[in-house]
């Protein structure tokens, strides 16, 4: 199997080829239409009422692998003790909660996010004009889906998406970004974190007139500050940013040695923009279960660039491995530190490096719990970092009813997430 690490320094989840993912026929049945199908799917891949098994065996290399036999019966951890059933059971709500919680997880596992149109945060290629990189942008009223079960909301988007296309340039590039306002209201665009000439700073009535309906405005500047930055509305901004006028602006350092692929051996460089206003609690424009999982192999090193475009602080918690925090607002930290929960305030950007050492599906969510879980299960600011052992993934692939083209994009498009499905015969 070829090295899954691409050369590109900033590559999104969607553009990295080569990750093998098991993909079972039950998940090719198409869109989830209800809990009936979910139940069928689970039953198909589960031999019993057991908990999830994994196609890889993280416990195989664990020093406690052989241990958990005494208290459990037929599967890891669980031990049914029917003789001590709880007294209170009149309320049906716990069961209701579990069914609802399972249904929403199943939608995530079925790759709901990949089925939705209008994915945001996609790279945009500039047109070269003289020495400038020219980005042509429209500002539009759009319909945007937070997840598949909710009606589309009346949102705003640059080039029709929330988040906007991800702009990536190199330090020293001349950037010309032409914004055509197709809205019925005025606006202005601020490149948050960049050092622009003041008359390009994008604050209506202070540095420019508002961009009125039908008008265009050209922002032209040299990208001076490397790192993780943003662009968003700076006019009626609580409303306009809250409705989706936000995007990532990445400036790669001029010296290739300072880029994350060279500096940290990063193979995936992921932008993670959160918002919490008119579309609820979102990561890159989607709420769980329509958020995209992050897929990686054991041994990969990935970067995540947290960007907060909302109005609340969000403490991002990665289960399992720690995050090494290396930059803040684009500026390298003089003393990088490790943590597993990182509060990101509105307007801040924090870059972290993760060594994907431990296989498994690791929950990755805002630890303000009401931003992540309610009485009907998880929602909002939840996703997962899924780390697979390459050999196990390949073996699973060979033995399963899968397409032979295991590229990650196809897997995602078809509902890649059967990696979480229990495989008969494996031990949890």
Nearer to a second copy, 2 or 81 (CB): 81
Nearer to a second copy, 29 or 101 (CB): 101
Which residues, 225 to 244, sit near a second copy by CB under 8 A?
225, 234-239, 241-242
Query: What per-residue string of b and e applies to 368-401 under the rule 16 or more CB within 10 Å gives b?
Result: beebbbeeebbbbbbbbbbbbbbebbeebbeeee
Of the candidate spans 28-36, 63-71, 144-152, 280-288, the one that interacts with a second copy by CB under 8 A turns out to be 63-71
319 sits near a second copy (criterion: CB under 8 A)? yes
Of the candidate spans 27-35, 71-79, 153-161, 298-306, the one that interacts with a second copy by CB under 8 A turns out to be 71-79
Nearer to a second copy, 12 or 113 (CB): 113
Which residues, 292 to 311, sit near a second copy by CB under 8 A?
311
170 sits near a second copy (criterion: CB under 8 A)? no
- Asked, as a colleague might, if the bond just before 289 is cis with ω within 30 of 0, I would say yes
In angstroms, what is the minimal distance from the CB of 6 to a second copy? Answer: 26
Closest CA to 217 of 195, 237, 233: 233
333 sits near a second copy (criterion: CB under 8 A)? yes
Residue ranges with strand state E in 298-359: 301-308, 314-318, 323-328, 331-339, 341-344, 349-355
Gap between the Cα atoms of 168 and 154, Å rounded:
28
Which residues, 370 to 389, sit near a second copy by CB under 8 A?
370, 372-375, 377, 384
Q: Is 262 helix (H, G, I), strand (E, B) or coil?
A: helix
160 sits near a second copy (criterion: CB under 8 A)? no
In angstroms, what is the minimal distance from the CB of 226 to a second copy? Answer: 12
Of the candidate spans 23-31, 204-212, 278-286, 398-406, the one that interacts with a second copy by CB under 8 A turns out to be 204-212
Nearer to a second copy, 76 or 407 (CB): 76
Nearer to a second copy, 40 or 218 (CB): 218
Of the candidate spans 1-9, 46-54, 153-161, 298-306, the one that interacts with a second copy by CB under 8 A turns out to be 46-54
Here the tokens at position 311 are 């109005």
Residue ranges with strand state E in 99-196: 127-129, 132-144, 153-158, 167-170, 174-181, 189-192
Compute how many other C-beta atoms are within 10 angstroms of the C-beta atom of residue 318. 21
Is 229 exposed, middle or buried (CB count within 10 Å of its CB: 0-12, 13-18, 19+)? buried
Tokens 């093998």: give the residue: 20
Which residues, 339 to 358, sit near a second copy by CB under 8 A?
339-341, 343, 345-349, 358
């Amino acid at each position: 199997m070829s090295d899954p690490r691409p050369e590109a320094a900033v590559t999104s989840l969607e553009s990295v080829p080569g990750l093998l993912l098991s993909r079972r026929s039950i998940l090719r049945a198409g869109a989830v239409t209800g809990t009936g199908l979910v139940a069928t799917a689970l039953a198909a891949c589960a031999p019993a009422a057991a908990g999830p098994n994994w196609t890889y065996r993280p416990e195989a290399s664990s020093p406690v692998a052989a241990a958990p036999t005494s208290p459990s019966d037929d599967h890891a951890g669980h031990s049914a003790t029917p003789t001590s059933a709880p007294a209170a059971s009149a309320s049906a709500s716990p069961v209701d909660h579990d069914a609802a919680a399972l249904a929403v997880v199943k939608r995530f596992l079925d790759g709901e996010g990949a089925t939705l149109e209008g994915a945001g945060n996609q790279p945009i290629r500039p047109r070269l004009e003289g020495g400038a990189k020219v980005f042509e942008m429209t500002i539009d009223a759009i319909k945007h889906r937070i997840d598949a079960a909710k009606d589309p909301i009346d949102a705003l988007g640059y080039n029709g998406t929330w988040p906007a296309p991800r702009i990536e340039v190199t330090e020293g590039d001349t950037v010309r970004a032409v914004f055509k306002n197709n809205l019925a209201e005025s606006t202005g665009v601020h490149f948050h974190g960049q050092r622009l000439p003041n008359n390009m700073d994008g604050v209506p009535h202070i540095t420019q007139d508002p961009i009125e309906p039908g008008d265009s405005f050209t922002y032209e500047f040299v990208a001076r500050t490397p790192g993780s930055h943003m662009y968003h509305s700076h006019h009626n901004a609580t409303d306009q940013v809250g409705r989706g006028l936000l995007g990532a602006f990445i400036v790669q350092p001029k010296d290739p040695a300072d880029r994350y692929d060279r500096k940290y051996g990063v193979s995936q460089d992921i932008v993670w923009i959160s918002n919490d206003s008119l579309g609820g609690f979102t990561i890159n424009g989607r709420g769980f279960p329509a958020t995209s999982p992050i897929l990686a192999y054991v041994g990969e090193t990935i970067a995540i660039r947290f960007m907060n475009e909302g109005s609340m602080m969000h403490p991002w918690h990665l289960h399992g491995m720690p995050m090494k925090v290396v930059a803040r607002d684009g500026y390298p930290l003089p003393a990088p530190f490790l943590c597993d929960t990182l509060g990101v305030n509105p307007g801040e950007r924090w870059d972290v490096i993760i060594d994907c050492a431990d296989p498994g599906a690791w929950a990755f969510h805002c630890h303000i719990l009401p931003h992540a879980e309610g009485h009907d299960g998880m929602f909002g600011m939840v996703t997962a970092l899924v780390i697979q052992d390459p050999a196990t993934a390949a073996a699973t692939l060979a033995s399963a009813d899968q397409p032979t083209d295991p590229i990650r994009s196809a897997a995602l498009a078809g509902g890649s997430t059967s990696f979480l499905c229990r495989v008969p015969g494996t031990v949890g």
